[in-house]
Amino acid sequence: MLKMKFLAAVFLVCVITTVASIYLFSINKQPDTQLVEFTTPFVFGRFQIPQDNPLTVESVKLGRRLFYDPLLSKNNKVSCASCHKQSLAFTDGLALSVGVSGKSLPFNSMSLVNLMWGPKHFFWNGRSSSLEDQALQPIEHVDEMGSNLDDLTEELSEIKAYQILFEQAYGELNAASIAKALANFQRTLVSSNSRYDQFLRGEVSFSRQEEFGRKLFMAHPDTKVSLRGGNCIDCHSQFLTSGFSSVFDGFSNNGLDDDINLAEGLYGLTKLEAHRGLFKAPTLRNIAVTSPYMHDGRFKTLEEVLAHYNGGIKRSKTLSPLIIEADNLADTKAEHISLNLAPHEVLAIISFLHTLTDESFLTNKAFSDPFKTGELND
Amino acid sequence: MIKPLKIIGLVSVSLLICIAIVWYNTVPKQLTVRFYPFLGNKPLVLNNAKYPNPGGEGEFTIRDFQFFISNLELTNNRNNYKEQESYHLARFDVGKAYYEITISEISVSNFQQLVFNIGIDRKANGTIVIAGDLDPNSRMAWNWQVGYKFLLLEGSLFTQEQQQPLVYHIGFNESYTRLNFPLNSNTVSNDGIIKLKVDILTLFNQAELIDMNEIPNVKFDPEDVAKIANGFKHFISIL
């Protein structure tokens, strides 16, 4: 009798332990993920990845599929890639982008390059403070992709491929994991093999014109010491060529409009008058393929951009004092704000800007449409 | 006879332990250095406040003010504490009354002097090393031949005739200036805070008052740079 009771007790303990283990194991189960292995150029400096969204192979694979999937839009015809095409360094060649509604958006499509560096605020007017936060906004925007996130989540959860990918990457399928996956795919879009990067690594030499253009790009003109400069470096950092990463230092008013016509820009986020009309200084990497230029795509060519800085600046209250002051002629008290660069200097700067084109980035299969490359086996 | 002695002994030891614990907990374990920006006796207010041109007509506003503090040390007669990767970009943004640097896990009472430098030391200034707030892709990076701007002051000067931009970018190795301040009960509060006044006007008030109409910008001209950088010696004082 005692033996039976003892055996029954042991059996009960085993059953309870087994059930408990299975339960605990399943609720604590995190997906078994693998971190992406990558290197970045020393000259780009530090970057950060959020603790709650480590850069894993699984999240990047999921993010890439989502990026190119038109299912994310209301009419199933518009994907992120519709306005961010790899061959155009993830822009779309339009002055103002157009989404599901057919109506032009107020802003030009921004190039998705080197997003782990530069300003930590996204969109032209800086209204988003993380890639995760930014990713969902176009999906929900009535004129961009026009989706309802709850409906979209349900739609995705009915597709076997997404069930597997979300399970592998995050263990769950919801708006947060959609955002995280898209953010992580975008983090991998690193452009660091342009002629300029090769020059920085000592692998190539520049032509005389390119080198002259580089020096002008990097110099704030100073007539007192006979230093001629294009002043680009005052807003576009020397290696990344983007706006500065600290606080809102990477946002400027570069004289596109007078006070009457000035769009609100960063003021929309901070409500500080000093930020009215300030916009994000974008990266100039691959600038030769990302026309048209500025937040509203008003300039079709680099020549037009240089002409703006070289005599087309419009005054407004928040116009950067650096732009007003920078002048290759001694008299800065003139009504007319201009860099006063000579034509051959303008050509040289444009020649340098062309060295920022990175063909290997524009054709890198890892960033391309997985629906087209036949990588998807569903 | 022994018993009362034992009791007294126990009580004394306990008392000593209690005093030690209390004392240990009240001695500051970190030093917080706070920089408060001023123009003369007026606190710096960005963008909206107007200040008189030190050496001439007109009033000016300040849009941005930043400068580097580096190689911070705490010293006494016997040994020094040297902060690692000691490159701080002091910045003063709207809504922030001060900029602060905190040095943790040190016993403030052990040290008699706070030492730091305005600008970047020659070695770091000549490289693209990334340490502390040094960032070759930052606003303070001039370019890789000249190094960093040590101090940045940008704004506008308003006179009856016009408004003109003020751009003071002060760099060059010669401008690197060492400063020191006493650490004692007069200068450091009980919770380990030392308050310093950063007086922008001292930069324009050295051998003579600088007229911003005459010198509205300083960039690479060595004489102009020296005029402003000479003020670094008196730029910061105990508040």
Q: Which of B118, B222, B111 is nearest to B178 (CA)?
A: B118
Query: What is the dihedral sign for C-alpha B115, B117, B123, B129?
Result: positive
The SS3 call for residue A216 is helix
Mean pLDDT for B12-24 is 82
- Cβ-defined contact of B220 to A245 (cutoff 8 Å): no
Residue A335's pLDDT band (boundaries 50, 70, 90)?
confident
Cα Rg of chain A (Å, integer): 26
Q: Cα distance from B236 to chain A (closest Cα, Å)?
A: 24
Q: Cα distance from B134 to chain A (closest Cα, Å)?
A: 10
The residues with which B182 forms a beta bridge, in sequence order, are B113
Query: What is the dihedral sign for C-alpha B115, B119, B124, B129?
Result: positive
Q: Which of A185, A112, A186, A191 is nearest to A364 (CA)?
A: A191
**CATH code of domain A42-190:** 1.10.760.10
Q: Which residue matches tokens 């009915």?
A: A158
The SS3 call for residue B139 is coil
CA distance A107 to A99: 12
Give residue-wise pLDDT tens across range A151-164: 999 999 999 999 99
Q: How far is CA A302 from CA A306, A354, B85, in A?
A: 6, 10, 41
CA distance A49 to A187: 9
Q: Choose from A120, A241, A244 for mutation: most chain B CBs within 10 A.
A: A244
Give residue-wise pLDDT tens across range B112-158: 999 999 999 999 999 888 899 999 999 999 877 789 999 999 999 99
Q: How far is CA B161 from CA A196, A255, A325, B58, in A?
A: 45, 22, 17, 10
CA distance B99 to B115: 17
Tell me what pLDDT residue A64 has. 98
Tell me whether B141 touches chain A (CB under 8 Å).
yes
- Cβ-defined contact of A325 to B167 (cutoff 8 Å): yes
Query: What is the dihedral sign for C-alpha B147, B153, B154, B157?
Result: negative
Annotate B147-181 with DSSP letters as a single string: EEEEEEEEEEEE-SS-EEEEEEEEE-GGG-EEEEE
Mean pLDDT for A215-227 is 95
Q: How far is CA B20 from CA B23, B24, B26, B141, in A?
A: 5, 6, 10, 49
Q: Out of B94, B130, B167, whose CB is closest to A45?
A: B130
Tell me whether A334 touches chain B (CB under 8 Å).
no
CA distance A357 to A94: 19
**Tokens standing for A171?**
């263990």
Answer yes or no: is pLDDT of B202 > 60.
Answer: yes
- Cβ-defined contact of A220 to B164 (cutoff 8 Å): no
Q: Out of A42, A239, A321, whose CB is closest to B63?
A: A321
Q: Out of B142, B144, B165, whose CB is closest to A324?
A: B165
The SS3 call for residue B70 is strand
Roughly how many angstroms between the first and final C-alpha of chain A, as a whole number? 60
- Count CB pairs under 8 A between chains A and B: 89
A195-360, CATH topology level: Cytochrome Bc1 Complex; Chain D, domain 2 (1.10.760)
In this structure, of A227-241, A263-277, A332-346, B17-31, the range with the lowest mean pLDDT score is B17-31
In this structure, of A299-303, B15-19, B42-46, B79-83, the range with the lowest mean pLDDT score is B15-19
Tell me what pLDDT residue B25 has. 66
The residues with which B103 forms a beta bridge, in sequence order, are B31
Give residue-wise pLDDT tens across range A41-62: 999 999 999 999 999 999 999 9
Q: Do B63 and B105 touch, CB atoms closer than 8 A?
A: no
Which residue intervals of chain A bear CATH 1.10.760.10? 42-190, 195-360
Question: Where is pLDDT greater, at A357 or A38?
Answer: A357
pTM of the prediction? 0.90
Q: Do A72 and A159 touch, CB atoms closer than 8 A?
A: no
HEC per residue, B92-138 = CCCCCCCEEEEECCCCHHHCCEEEEEECCCHHHHCCCCCCCCCCCCC
User: How high does pLDDT run on average in chain B?
Assistant: 92
Tell me whether A321 touches chain B (CB under 8 Å).
yes
Q: How far is CA A298 from CA A152, A167, A310, B85, B195, in A?
A: 35, 44, 16, 44, 50
Residue A271's pLDDT band (boundaries 50, 70, 90)?
very high
CA distance B218 to B225: 6
Residue A273's pLDDT band (boundaries 50, 70, 90)?
very high
Tell me what pLDDT residue A29 has. 61
Answer yes or no: is pLDDT of B1 > 70.
Answer: no
**What count of other Cβ atoms lies within 10 Å of the Cβ of residue A48?**
9
CA distance A128 to A243: 16
Mean pLDDT for A155-179 is 97
Chain B contact set for A224 (CB, 8 A): 219-221, 224
- Cβ-defined contact of A244 to B93 (cutoff 8 Å): no
Tell me what pLDDT residue B145 has. 78
Tell me what pLDDT residue B9 has. 83
Residues B69/B70/B76/B77 CA torsion (nearest 10 deg): -130
Tell me what pLDDT residue B4 has. 81
Residue A377's pLDDT band (boundaries 50, 70, 90)?
low
Tell me what pLDDT residue B28 has. 64
Strands B31-39 and B193-199: parallel
Tell me what pLDDT residue A20 has. 80
E strands present in chain A: 251-252, 279-280
Amino acid at B207: A
Angle at CA A189, nearest 5°, toward A188 and A195? 130
> Rounded to the nearest 5°, which phi and psi values hold at A306?
-65, -35
Burial class (CB in 10 A: 0-12, 13-18, 19+), B45: middle
- Cβ-defined contact of B136 to A272 (cutoff 8 Å): no
Contacts of B236 (CB under 8 A, 6+ apart): B35, B118, B179, B181, B196, B197, B198, B199
Residue A206's pLDDT band (boundaries 50, 70, 90)?
very high
SS3 content of chain A, % helix, strand, coil (to 5): 40, 5, 55
Chain B contact set for A48 (CB, 8 A): none
Mean pLDDT for B42-47 is 95
Mean pLDDT for B103-112 is 89
Q: What percent of chain A clears pLDDT 90, i.e. is strictly above it?
A: 87
> Rounded to the nearest 5°, which phi and psi values hold at B14?
-60, -45
Tell me what pLDDT residue A285 has. 98
The region, left, alpha or beta by phi > 0 then psi within -120 to 50, assigned to residue B141 is beta
Q: Which of A138, A146, A219 is nearest to A179 (CA)?
A: A138
Tell me whether B184 touches chain A (CB under 8 Å).
no
Residues B92/B212/A253/A289 CA torsion (nearest 10 deg): -110
Chain A contact set for B46 (CB, 8 A): 274
Mean pLDDT for A209-238 is 96
Tell me what pLDDT residue A312 has. 95
Mean pLDDT for A63-87 is 97
Tell me whether B160 touches chain A (CB under 8 Å).
no
Q: How far is CA A69 from the centre of its chain?
A: 19
Residue A28's pLDDT band (boundaries 50, 70, 90)?
low
Q: How far is CA A328 from the centre of its chain?
A: 33
User: How high does pLDDT run on average in chain A?
Assistant: 94
